[in-house]
Amino acid sequence: MEVKYRKSQGLTDKKLSYCPGCTHGIVHKLVAESLEELGVLGKSVGVASVGCSVFSYEFFNCDMQQAPHGRACAEATGIKRVLPNNVVFTYQGDGDLASIGIAETIHAANRGENITVIFINNAIYGMTGGQMAPTTLEGQRTTTSQDGRNHLIHGNPIKISEIFSQIEGAAYVERVSVYNPKQLMKAKKAIKKAFTYQVEKRGFTLIEVLSSCPVNWGMTPPDALKWIEEKMTPVFPMGVFKDSGEAHE
């Protein structure tokens, strides 16, 4: 019998702990498939962060380290510097990367650390129960912005891909999403490209993935996907923000 599809070797058999309709599972799959297809799973070291994806060390079928909140890129720096021929990646949410860990992330990029950052932007703190994230949209209601985010009080949503596009050490920065199959395919391509750049030692790569959090957004999973497309993408436009790859070829 011909096998048409099977679960990626890049994932363990552990049952995912994510909420129904959450897109973390899809992004895990894309990362796992990319590592497997590039044949680097056996030399990959992932860094799990603090947030919903804290348990990703149980899901990715490779060596993993679990970092303190926001410190994933510092930890990844330590790993990559002593294991320069391994593939090192972090998997971080918006609270972890864009709030408490923005210094570690920017400086890892600025040093051109040859690591790949998978950044999940779902505009909210999921794990702790729906608090305002640095990426929460203007007017979006959260448990700590109950009348909606107001830029006069809370500031504006922070645009990570735009910021990182300005950093010389960043080799590749793209914002993608997974709200429909077409976008999912594009996201896969971007993630695989980021890891390819790392294998080719081109420098820091960051893929921002616009993701859904139906439970904390108070929506059905389909509505949540629609919300990404209709509400998030105007604020966080998708596309390649930096690609210095060609220059290095």
Partner 1 sequence: MAKVLMKGNEAIALAALKGGIDAFFGYPITPQNEIPEYLSKHLLAAGKVFVQAESEVAAINMVYGAAGAGARVMTSSSSPGIALKQEGISYIAGAELPCVIVSVMRGGPGLGGIQPSQADYYQATRGGGNGDYQLIVYAPETIQETIDTLKESFDIADYYRNPVLILVDGLIGQMMESVDFDKPIRKRFIPEKDYATTGTDHHPGRNIVNSHYLNPDELEQHNLHLQKKYQQIKNNETKFEMINMEQPDYVIVAYGTMSRIARSAIEMLEEQGIHVGMIRPITLWPYPRAAFDQIPKSCKGILCAEMSMGQMLDDVLISDRGRHDVAFFGRVGGIVPEPEEIVDAILHFQERVVK
Q: Which residues bind partner 1 (CB under 8 A)?
A: 12, 41-45, 47, 54, 57-58, 61-68, 71, 74-83, 86, 103-104, 107, 111
Nearer to partner 1, 111 or 141 (CB): 111
φ, ψ dihedrals at 138, nearest 5°: -55, 130
CB of 71 to partner 1, least distance (A): 4
- What residues contact residue 131 under an 8 Å CB cut-off, 6+ apart? 124, 125, 142, 143, 144
Strands 170-177 and 204-210: parallel
Q: How far is the CB of 62 from partner 1 (least distance, A)?
A: 6
Closer to partner 1 by Cβ: residue 78 or 148 = 78
Q: Round to whole Å and give the CA distance between 180 and 226.
A: 9
Cβ 35 to partner 1 shortest distance, Å: 11
The DSSP code sequence of 222-241 is HHHHHHIIIIIHHHS--EEE
- Of 116 and 183, nearer to partner 1 (C-beta) is 116
Closer residue to partner 1 (CB): 81 or 201:
81
Closest approach, Cβ 57 to partner 1, in A, equals 5
Q: Of 58 and 243, which CB lies nearer to partner 1 in the complex structure?
A: 58
DSSP state of 138: B
176 has which bridge partners? 209
CB 101 within 8 A of CB 94: no
Angle between helix axes 72-82 and 102-110 (nearest 10 degrees) is: 30
Q: What is the spatial distance between Cα 39 and Cα 198, in angstroms, rounded to a whole number? A: 13
Compute the least distance from the CB of residue 156 to partner 1, in Å: 24
Q: How many CB atoms lie within 10 A of CB 153?
A: 8
| Residue with Cβ nearer partner 1 (26 or 79) | 79
Considering beta carbons, is residue 87 or 176 the nearer one to partner 1? 87
96 DSSP 8-state letter: I
Q: How far is the CB of 115 from partner 1 (least distance, A)?
A: 10
CB of 169 to partner 1, least distance (A): 13
Amino acid letter at 50? V
DSSP 116: E
